[in-house]
Amino acid sequence: MEFEIGAQDRVFTVNYSINAGGKLFHTAPALVMGIVNVTPDSFFDGGRLKAESDVLQLAEKHLNEGAFCLDIGAYSTRPGAAEVTPEEELNRLLPAVESVARHFPEAVISVDTFRAAAARAGIEAGAHMINDVRGGDADPFMFETVADLKVPYVLMHMPGTPQTMQNNTRYNDVTRDILKQMAVKVSQLKALGVNDVIVDPGFGFGKTPAQNLKLIRELDRFHILDCPVLAGVSRKSTIQKTLHVTADEALNGTTILNTAALMNGAGILRVHDVKQAAECAEMVYQLSQS
């Protein structure tokens, strides 16, 4: 891990490496993960990908605009989202993973799931990473499954479930409390032999707008875990509520928060709009070098 301090010590990048799909990626400049939701009810793009051709078109767009990874999800985790059975999740997820892997064999694919069985099936279908919004809490077999599969793992913080998380926003100190929980889990994963752990504070998941903004201001503290940090703020309700805009109008606010996260050492941005995020990552990196 290398720290590179830039303009008046206010901009810095942290250069980690991630081995995904047999390729080595570095987080300086920051990497961009493009969202591909094959769900009918996600808060911004739910129901937009109705056919295989829609999935492939978006995947191609993300890759052409600079995404290092495509994050395919089949279970909406917006606040209050409806539960999805394991069978329905797989019925949505696997055809999308298989199709993207077949048409874009060089692409790195992440499976967005909190179920160990879906994670394993996704990897077997052609994916290379697991993005777990429940951070192992939903499935007692998730950590050992990740260790067995030997793939990168995004460890996200969410108190409770998508149905209950916004009832769980009480913290003594949101940054410190999440760090304590993540430190335990990172140690467990490392002990199991998981080499590539990526931490995600879970912006918008069981946090108020004020808590989300505090996490972004204090994102540099997460580097004590010695893991790349992922920021997923794209078009979320913190932006909508702060600026009084809709999700469709939240791109500008997203870019602002992405910039702040990058200036505090975020190494991966998970976004709906890859081109803007990739340009943001490059500009912040150049600032850190000036």
Number of domains in the chain: 1
Measured distance CA(49)–CA(47) in Å, rounded: 6
* pLDDT at residue 77, rounded to an integer: 74
* pLDDT at residue 8, rounded to an integer: 43
* pLDDT at residue 169, rounded to an integer: 81
Which residues have CB under 8 Å from 244's CB, separation 6+? none
Measured distance CA(96)–CA(68) in Å, rounded: 18
Measured distance CA(83)–CA(185) in Å, rounded: 25
Range of the structural domain that residue 67 is part of: 2-289
Catalytic-labelled residue, pool 92, 120, 185, 236: 236
Which of 101, 125, 122, 100 shows the shortest CA–CA distance to 111?
122
Mean pLDDT of each 10-residue bin along the chain, 290 residues long = 52 88 96 93 57 93 98 82 87 96 97 97 98 96 98 93 70 96 98 98 94 97 97 96 96 98 97 98 92
pTM: 0.92
Is 270 part of the annotated catalytic residue set?
yes
Catalytic-labelled residue, pool 92, 120, 207, 270: 270
* pLDDT at residue 6, rounded to an integer: 46
* pLDDT at residue 5, rounded to an integer: 47
- Is residue 215 within 8 Å of 175, Cβ to Cβ? yes
Is 236 part of the annotated catalytic residue set?
yes
CATH number, domain with residue 200: 3.20.20.20
